[in-house]
Structure 1
Amino acid sequence: MGDWTTTADGRKGRRPRALSPLREHVRDTFWFAPTAAMLLVLVVWAAAAEADARIVEALRESGDYESLKELLKFADDARVVVTTVSSAMMTFIGVVFSISLVALQMASGQFSPRVVRIFVRSRISKATFAVFLATFVLSLLVLTGFDGERDPRLVVSVPLVQSLLTLLMVGLSLLLFVMYVNAMLRLMRVGHVIDRITREAFRVIARTTAPASGRDPAPDAGPVALGPVTAQVIHHGRAGVLRDVHVSRLVRAARRQGVVLRLIPRIGDFVVPGTPVLAVHGGATPAPRRLRGTVSVGVERTFHQDLSFGLRQLSDIALRALSAAVNDPTTAVQALDRIVQFLAAVAGRPLDTSLHRDRRGEMRLVQPVPGWTELVDLAFTEIRGCAVGTPQVTRRMTAGLDDLLRITPAGRRAPLVRHRELLAQAVERAVPEAADRAFALTPDRQGIG
């Protein structure tokens, strides 16, 4: 039996599969899908070549040389088509690569460098490159299968199935090209980028937090009582950002040892060699081989288990939009819409820690996550500092804070009240006219219409 955890809707469900972190790391790379497609096309081509050889062999054994002559005529026409395809696919690949570079440059310059990973993780981009490269490789392999022998009695193979497969791949490439251009045009629009970030952030909310249950602490219930620290696990790998941890393996290691493990740094923290990453409560440290590969460190943050990374990206987009170089307050309002949506989703959920239990329901891993105050500060502090001279943004922020005050539990309203007061004070200092100050602080969910 596998380990169990509490899902975002409060139900008991199976813990993510053991390869979950690896799957996410593969999605953050661009080389895997094209490489896998080219290896797969080698297998498909070998099967198609075998099928062609058996077709020719069957016709020769039956003495149907007329059909073989027709196949040889087909081969002459197919050679021209496949040769054209092999040369045209490289041009297609160049066009797709150029579109991708333009999209990446635009996203990095206008939105935020951190949103580039959306394009890297785009399934349609990977599928398009993979199919284009596979079609190019297949066309080259098919060209090697054409036999120069013209005598039907001596011909060994005619690439009939291979040629038809190449034409099928060309059709698939054209379809994917249209879908790819449509997807890139959508991702060049800030509204779709913000929506994509929000959807990723909500997946993280579902994985890392859950509504308060009978066993888990209610919102703001304080730290979990774990007892004294009996040992620590030191990080010996490279320095970098803590991207994620292998939850399933850590839970199994803690269960076998009869201890509780607590992750010391938060996901997204920068760790250096020699610093402790895991605290052990209630016993000795699990065997090093059971902990090997359970902590992943990289050069940048990822969405996989990082609860605040979505807010960080939304805040960056808003800050870039409010800069003097861009001066696009409407984009900042769009980002604030999603920031309020994110905070509303976590307002009633237990934060500060994420608890992972084994199949018997015993707590085995405690993972720190940002608290409510930290999320609110991340959402509004920097934007408030840049928005005081833009009434469209201050009006939207005021409306968002008011909406959150209505739906947030009483114990969590203090940081929202603080930010509303700081916003009013900042506007009062920056705007000299009383009428303008009153206008800038009037709640408006659209900013200024």
Structure 2
Amino acid sequence: MNHTKLSKLWDSLHASYWFLPSVMVAAAIGLALLLLALDGTKQVNFDEWNWLYTGGPEGARALLSAIAGSMMTVAATAFSITIVALQLASSNFGPRLLRNFMQDTGNQFVLGTFISTFIYCLLVLRTIRGEDFDFFVPQLSVTVGIVLAIVSIGVLIYFIHHASTIIQASHVITEVSQDLTATIDRLFPEKLGHNAPEPTAWLKQIPPDFETAACSIPAKHSGYLQAIDNETLMKIACQHNLLLQIKFRPGKFMVKGCELALVYPGKRVKPQLFDLINNALILGQERTEQQDVEFPIDQLVEIALRAISPGINDPFTAVRCIDRLTDGLCQLAQRDIPSPYRFDREGQLRVIVEPISFGQLVDAAFNQIRQYSRSDAAVTIRLLEAISTIAAFTHRPDDRVALHRHAEMIYQGSREGLPEAQDRNDVEERYLRVIKALKSSEIR
């Protein structure tokens, strides 16, 4: 299993509520068996350890029964609080943010701690015997059970604080912003194979009859394209001496039977290649940020749109989202956008992927916020200030064109949406600053 599929597997496990608790339960079972084995050995004299449990079998049973029963009660309460937090997140921030809450390691650790302590106490409880002919009280194991109960109390206190923190808008926005930053660092720049020996080498290597002689590969399933297994695609293209063109990029929805890819020359395509190419494109029911930089951008946009909706009317949250989007776009403006043309070690064009541009990401970040905030002076002004900030980091002419286009649309929308003349004047002042900033970046 290569890196892409391992990353997808880990992403799925990380977003589940069963994986970490299951690992912790397995560790609790191993700990119980190990300590019970130590308690049963004759080579260790526990009488010298004054801090161990020294009560009888009835007391040990009552103690472990009380711990096990309380752990299940607390685990049920923690699970109920988690469900309420997920409901609040879905209603306040949008259902797409539920994935972020499901990935929260703190909640998984809390549930795992309570369940693990419960399982540990059960395993130790079953070994306690009080008969005269078969007397056995696992002193070390019972003592560790008490320690786990004390640790669980600390974890409960942590959970109360954590549960009240993760549903705050500032925390949610920060978490999504960190996902955006991590995705940018991971994907830009990104290479598949090797670069061309010259910048325009791809122009010479695309056959003139590519469209007519290529074979179409249909999608076997419907779903969101979560990741592309670049290594496998390059390996397929090199082994069969093919040129592949992928028609979708991560984050897009594919319908079963639609044209997934083109393979040239089509006469070399064998039936097994259909399955190999389909398997190299990883589908799922939801979008993820594994190779989809637009996903965390869309999450921030969704929070902003809900904040400026008439039912909520919270421009301050929208402004925070714009600030985080600004930070992400400033990073993107300084990165090299990967070429859609991918070459093997000999400089032969092998794979053409669906490109993404800085302008498309700016559209994803600003289009909907601009459209829904035409009558909100504060949000409109912050959008223009964001563009002015991003302009200082741009070094490509196309990026400045995209920013100028959005500044123009924001300005024109404010002329129609803002009823107060002073608000329109404030927007115009920010717009002129954007134009100045774009010209300054062009001179640099």
TM-score higher than 0.5 here?
yes
Structure 1 match to 2:111: 129
Counterpart Cα distance in 2 of 1:171 and 1:438: 62
Of 98, 102, 109, the match for 1:120: 102
**For structure 1, which segment, 362-371 or 295-304, has the greater mean C-alpha deviation from structure 2 after superposition?**
362-371
Structure 2 match to 1:111: 93
Tell whether the 8 Å contact from 2:53 to 2:142 is kept in structure 1 after alignment. no
Of 389, 392, 413, the match for 2:400: 413
Residue 158 of structure 1: CA displacement? 2.7
Structure 2 match to 1:247: 230
1:262-301 alignment to 2 at 5 Å?
262-281=245-264, 284=269, 287=273, 290-291=276-277, 293-301=279-287
Counterpart Cα distance in 1 of 2:81 and 2:356: 37
Assess, with a 3 A threshold, how the Cα gap between structure 1 residues 219 and 427 changes in structure 2: closer, same or farther. farther
Residue 291 of structure 1: CA displacement? 4.9
Counterpart Cα distance in 2 of 1:219 and 1:346: 21
Structure 2 residue runs without a partner (length 5+)? 432-444
Tell whether the 8 Å contact from 1:52 to 1:159 is kept in structure 2 after alignment. yes
Structure 1 match to 2:23: 36
Counterpart Cα distance in 2 of 1:190 and 1:224: 52
Structure 2 match to 1:7: none
Counterpart Cα distance in 1 of 2:225 and 2:69: 44
Tell whether the 8 Å contact from 2:322 to 2:383 is kept in structure 1 after alignment. yes
Assess, with a 3 A threshold, how the Cα gap between structure 1 residues 212 and 86 changes in structure 2: closer, same or farther. closer
Structure 2 match to 1:257: 240
Structure 2 match to 1:447: none
Structure 2 match to 1:429: 416
The reply to whether residue 236 of structure 1 matches residue 259 of structure 2 is no
Match for 1:425: what amino acid? Answer: Q
1:108-143 superposed Cα distances (whole Å, 9 cap, x missing partner) = 112222111111001111111112111111111211
Counterpart Cα distance in 1 of 2:358 and 2:137: 68
Structure 2 match to 1:21: 8
Assess, with a 3 A threshold, how the Cα gap between structure 1 residues 107 and 430 changes in structure 2: closer, same or farther. same
Residue 93 of structure 1: CA displacement? 0.7
Query: What is the alpha-carbon root mean square deviation over aligned residues?
Result: 3.5
Assess, with a 3 A threshold, how the Cα gap between structure 1 residues 221 and 161 changes in structure 2: closer, same or farther. farther
> Helix, strand or coil: the match of 1:242?
strand
Counterpart Cα distance in 1 of 2:98 and 2:410: 31
Tell whether the 8 Å contact from 2:223 to 2:283 is kept in structure 1 after alignment. yes
Counterpart Cα distance in 2 of 1:328 and 1:219: 48
> Helix, strand or coil: the match of 1:73?
coil
Of 152, 176, 186, the match for 1:173: 152
Counterpart Cα distance in 1 of 2:61 and 2:251: 54
Structure 1 match to 2:195: 215
1:351-409 superposed Cα distances (whole Å, 9 cap, x missing partner) = 37556677888765544353222211111111112212211111111111122233222
Structure 2 match to 1:336: 322
Residue 144 of structure 1: CA displacement? 0.6
Match for 2:59: what amino acid? Answer: D
Tell whether the 8 Å contact from 2:35 to 2:141 is kept in structure 1 after alignment. yes
> Helix, strand or coil: the match of 2:227?
strand
1:41-91 superposed Cα distances (whole Å, 9 cap, x missing partner) = 333322332222224xx58xx9x9999xx9873544332221111110012
Residue 177 of structure 1: CA displacement? 2.7
Match for 1:158: what amino acid? Answer: V
Tell whether the 8 Å contact from 1:146 to 1:158 is kept in structure 2 after alignment. yes
Structure 1 match to 2:39: 52
Structure 1 match to 2:288: 302
Counterpart Cα distance in 2 of 1:173 and 1:65: 27
Match for 1:407: what amino acid? Answer: F
Match for 2:119: what amino acid? Answer: V
Of 363, 376, 379, the match for 1:390: 376
**For structure 1, which segment, 83-92 or 208-217, has the greater mean C-alpha deviation from structure 2 after superposition?**
208-217
Structure 2 match to 1:10: none
Match for 1:204: what amino acid? Answer: T
**For structure 1, which segment, 406-415 or 326-335, has the greater mean C-alpha deviation from structure 2 after superposition?**
406-415
The reply to whether residue 185 of structure 1 matches residue 164 of structure 2 is yes
Assess, with a 3 A threshold, how the Cα gap between structure 1 residues 358 and 140 changes in structure 2: closer, same or farther. farther
Residue 258 of structure 1: CA displacement? 4.1
**For structure 1, which segment, 159-168 or 336-345, has the greater mean C-alpha deviation from structure 2 after superposition?**
159-168
Assess, with a 3 A threshold, how the Cα gap between structure 1 residues 234 and 34 changes in structure 2: closer, same or farther. same
Assess, with a 3 A threshold, how the Cα gap between structure 1 residues 249 and 25 changes in structure 2: closer, same or farther. farther
Q: How many residues align?
A: 420
TM-score, structure 2 as length reference: 0.83
Match for 2:10: what amino acid? Answer: R
Tell whether the 8 Å contact from 2:195 to 2:347 is kept in structure 1 after alignment. no
1:186-205 superposed Cα distances (whole Å, 9 cap, x missing partner) = 22221121111111112211
